Amino acid sequence: SSIYIMKSLWSDVESDKFKDDLALRVYTSRLLGQDPSLVLHGGGNTSVKITETNLVGSKEDILYVKGSGWDLVSIEKDGFSPVRMAHILNLSKLKSLSDPQMVNELKTQLTNATSPTPSVETILHAILPFKYVDHTHADAVVTISNTVNGEERIREIYGNRVVIVPYVMPGFDLAKEVGRLFSEMASEETEGMVLLNHGIFSFGNTARESYERMIGLVNAAEQYLVSQNAWDNEKPLIDVKSKKIRGDVSELRQKISLVAGNPVLLNLTNSLSGISFSKRDDVEKIATRGPLTPDHVIRTKRIPMIGRDVEKYVKDYVSYFDIHKTNAKEKKTMLDPAPRVILDREFGLCAVGKNMSEIGIISDIYEHTIESILRAEKLGGFQALPASDIFDIEYWDLEQAKLLRNNNFLEFQGEVVLITGAASGIGKSCVQSFLNRGAAVVGIDIDSSIETNYKHNNYLGLICDVTDEEAVEELLEKSVCHFGGLDMIVLNAGIFPEGRQVSELSTIEWNKVFSINLNSNLNLLREVYPLLKVAPNKGRVVVIGSKNVLAPGPGAAAYSASKAALNQLMRVLSMEWSSDGIRLNALHPNGVFDTNIWTDEVLISRAEHYGLTVENYKTNNLLGVEVNSTDVSELAAELCSSLFSKTTAAQIPIDGGNERVI
C-alpha cells in the first residue's frame, strides 16, 4: 500500500549553511512548511529565544516569533518579529487581556519597528521554557483529535510525551491555560503538547531537536492511523462528464455572487477524491460537522454547501449567525453568507473565491479535510468543535482585520473575460490590461504560445481555432468549469490579408476572411449569450474594429467589408441584448505598429510608399502620436468598466485623429 510516513528532512549539509540561531530557525521552519500535511497556506508558527545586547549595552531576551503574513515554506529572517521577552512574561501573569490590548502590547515591545505583527500565539511561545518552539496543525493529529474518543486516543498514542490541552480559542486565554497545564503536567519525558481540535506543539533546546520531535510526534499519529486501518482511503472513481454543464455552472455562480454582494469565481476542482466524496450518500452527514481546525474557518466558512440550493445555505448561515451572535462579547455584523466550498454530485468539489490564489488555498484546505474526515470516520466518526467555538473564530476581530488588509479591491475582481487572438499584439496586451484590473482571463489563439504566455493564477490560455464551432464549444465548457462563468468578451482575432483589388479577389479568399473576421464571431457571440446573460455585473462585449470600418482603403475589400459587417452585428446585438443589460461597444484602432504584422521590413516599405521616414509614418495622424497596443487594450478594459456602464453601441476611434474618420 502507499503508506506515507513522515520522516525528518534535516540535512547536515543544508543546515551548515544556516549559521546562527535565527538562521536555523528559518531552516527548520521551511522544512515544516514544505509538507502540506503539517502546515498548509500560512498555518502554523515557530519561534526562537535569543539573548541580545541592545544599543545601550544591556542584555535582553528576545523572542523571535513568526509574523503575520508570512508562510513557513518561504519564511526569511525578516518574517520573524523580535519581541522583548521580559514584558511578555509579565503580561502572561495578568488575569485577563483583551485581543486589541494584547496586539497593542506585542507591537509596542518589538525591537524593530518595521517587523510584521507578531503571531497571536506569541505569549504561548514565550512561556514555554525552551529555546525553540514549533507549532503545526498536522493533519494526522487533528484527524485523531476530531473523533468521538479523540482525547483518549491521543493519550493512548503519546502517554507522557505530550501535555494535552482541551480546546480554547487562540489568544491570551489559551496562553494562560497552556501555562497552567504545562506547569502541572510537564515532566522529563515531555516533548510537546496537543491542543485538542486545533494542532500540536513541539519544543527543544536546538532547532533540530524541536523539529525532529514534531516529526516524531506526528509520525506516531500516522502510525496509529495505519494500525487502526484508518490510513488508506478508498481509491476515488474516475469521473467522465458527458453532459454540457456550462449553463448550470454559470447560473450557480450568478446566485452565489448575488449573495456575496460582488462577482466571485467558482472553480470545479476536478479533484477525483472531491468527486467521489461529493457522490457519497452520507456526504451531507459527514461533511457538515465543522472544519478540521478553527484555523481553516476563515477561508472555508464553517461548513460547505451540499448541492446547489444557495437559498437554503444562506438561510442556515443566517440562523447560525443569529444564534451565536447573542453570545458574542462584541456586536458583530454578518459576513457575506455565500459558501466557499461546494460539494455537488455532478460538479464535485468546487471552490468559491475572489481570485484563483484564494481558490487554490480553499481547495487545498478542503482536499485535506476530505482525507481527514474519511480517516476519522474509520475511527468511529468525525467530530468537530461545536458551532459556537467556530463562530468565535469566524467572527474574530483579529482574523477579520487580517482579511481586510489583504483586500485591495480591483475593478474586475471575481469577473471573467474571454479574449480572442490573445497570443500577440492587441490581444496579448488586453490580457495584461484585464489581469491588472483583477479579472480572470481566458486567452485563446490558434498559436500554441497562448498556453504559456502568462504565468498568472488568474490566466487560462487555450489553443483554439475560432472558426471551429466544436472547438469553441469545448473551450467554453473548459473556461466555465475553471472560472465559473463569463462576464466580458473581447473580439480581437482577425486576419488582414495581402492587398488585392476587387477585380482580382477570389470568392475563396473573400470567404476565408469572412469566416475568421465575421462568421466565427457570430458563432462565439451566440454561444456566449447565455453566459453573459447571467453575469453578475451584466455582460460586456468589446469589438476590436478598424479604421477601415469608417474609412476603407483600396485593396482591402474583404477586410473592410468583414469588419464593417462585424460592426453592424455589434449594433444589432446592442438592441437585441439591451434588455439583458449586455453592453457592446467597438474600438476602431489605426496604425498600431507594435504587433506581429508590422515587421521592420513592412514598416520600411510602407513608409517609403508614402515618402515618409518610419518615425513620421508611425505618427502620421492629427495629434502626431504613436498608437500602441497598450493604448488600445487599456481602452478596451475601460469600456468594460463602470465608467462606460451607461454606454452601448458606441464606436470609438483610437488613431491619433484621422481626417477621413472625422
Q: Would you name the residues annotated as active-site residues?
A: 559
- Residue (of 167, 219, 208, 213) closest to 189 by Cα position: 213
Q: Using an 8 Å Cβ cutoff, are 298 and 399 in contact?
A: yes
Q: Looking at beta carbons only, is 42 or 199 nearer to Zn ion?
A: 199
String of contacts with Zn ion for each residue 345-374, x by CB under 5 A:
------------------------------
Nearest approach, Cβ of 294 to Zn ion (angstroms)?
A: 8
In angstroms, rounded to a whole number, what is the distance separating the alpha carbons of residues 332 and 13?
52
In angstroms, rounded to a whole number, what is the distance separating the alpha carbons of residues 149 and 381?
9
Backbone φ/ψ region at 306: left (φ over 0), alpha (ψ -120 to 50), beta: beta
Stretch that binds Zn ion, among 28-36, 185-193, 195-203, 421-429 (CB under 5 A): 195-203
Q: Looking at beta carbons only, is 174 or 460 nearer to Zn ion?
A: 174
Show the beta-strand stretches assigned E in 88-206.
132-136, 162-165, 192-195, 199-204
**Residue owning grid cell 532547532:** 207
Show the beta-strand stretches assigned E in 137-206.
162-165, 192-195, 199-204
Nearest approach, Cβ of 40 to Zn ion (angstroms)?
A: 11
Q: What are the Cα distances from residue 126, in Å, to 21, 176, 178, 272, 467?
A: 16, 11, 11, 43, 66
Nearest approach, Cβ of 208 to Zn ion (angstroms)?
A: 22
Stretch that binds Zn ion, among 27-35, 75-83, 92-100, 193-201 (CB under 5 A): 193-201
Q: Which three cell numbers stand for residue 99?
A: 485581543
Cα four-point dihedral sign 169, 171, 174, 176: negative
Q: Looking at beta carbons only, is 199 or 425 nearer to Zn ion?
A: 199
In angstroms, rounded to a whole number, what is the distance separating the alpha carbons of residues 294 and 288?
14
Q: Using an 8 Å Cβ cutoff, are 519 and 494 in contact?
A: no
By CB under 5 A, residue 199 contacts Zn ion: yes
Nearest approach, Cβ of 361 to Zn ion (angstroms)?
A: 16
Nearest approach, Cβ of 295 to Zn ion (angstroms)?
A: 6
Window 443 to 482, contacts with Zn ion (CB under 5 A): none
Nearest approach, Cβ of 136 to Zn ion (angstroms)?
A: 8
Q: 209 exposed, middle or buried (CB, 10 Å; 0-12, 13-18, 19+)?
A: middle
Residue 83: CA count within 13 A, CB half-sphere? 35
Classified as helix, coil or strand, 344 is strand
Q: Looking at beta carbons only, is 201 or 559 nearer to Zn ion?
A: 201
The H or E element spanning position 45 is strand 45-53
Q: Looking at beta carbons only, is 199 or 653 nearer to Zn ion?
A: 199
Q: Using an 8 Å Cβ cutoff, are 622 and 659 in contact?
A: yes
* Cα 569 versus chain centre, distance: 37
Read off the amino acid at residue 335. Answer: L
Nearest approach, Cβ of 374 to Zn ion (angstroms)?
A: 23
Nearest approach, Cβ of 145 to Zn ion (angstroms)?
A: 13
- Residue (of 352, 406, 340) closest to 71 by Cα position: 406
Read off the amino acid at residue 141. Answer: V
Q: Looking at beta carbons only, is 45 or 413 nearer to Zn ion?
A: 45
Q: Looking at beta carbons only, is 182 or 617 nearer to Zn ion?
A: 182
Stretch that binds Zn ion, among 79-87, 157-165, 199-207, 522-530 (CB under 5 A): 199-207
- Residue (of 241, 249, 650, 245) closest to 486 by Cα position: 249
Stretch that binds Zn ion, among 197-205, 331-339, 399-407, 563-571 (CB under 5 A): 197-205
In angstroms, rounded to a whole number, what is the distance separating the alpha carbons of residues 40 and 361?
8
* CB closest to Zn ion, residue no: 199
Please work out the total of residues on this chain that contact Zn ion, with binding judged by CB under 5 A: 1
Q: Looking at beta carbons only, is 141 or 566 nearer to Zn ion?
A: 141
Q: Which three cell numbers stand for residue 330?
A: 462584541
Q: Which three cell numbers stand for residue 504?
A: 482580382
The H or E element spanning position 322 is helix 310-325
Q: Looking at beta carbons only, is 133 or 637 nearer to Zn ion?
A: 133
Nearest approach, Cβ of 644 to Zn ion (angstroms)?
A: 47
Stretch that binds Zn ion, among 194-202, 234-242, 494-502, 637-645 (CB under 5 A): 194-202
By CB under 5 A, residue 42 contacts Zn ion: no
Nearest approach, Cβ of 440 to Zn ion (angstroms)?
A: 32
Angle at CA of residue 7, ends 25 and 73, nearest 5° = 40
Backbone φ/ψ region at 591: left (φ over 0), alpha (ψ -120 to 50), beta: left
- How many CB atoms lie under 10 A from the CB of residue 232? 14
Nearest approach, Cβ of 169 to Zn ion (angstroms)?
A: 11
Window 286 to 345, contacts with Zn ion (CB under 5 A): none
Q: Looking at beta carbons only, is 79 or 539 nearer to Zn ion?
A: 79
| DSSP 8-state class, residue 546 | -
Q: Looking at beta carbons only, is 296 or 324 nearer to Zn ion?
A: 296
In angstroms, rounded to a whole number, what is the distance separating the alpha carbons of residues 438 and 332?
29
Stretch that binds Zn ion, among 198-206, 299-307, 371-379, 398-406 (CB under 5 A): 198-206
- Residue ranges that bind Zn ion, judged by CB under 5 A: 199
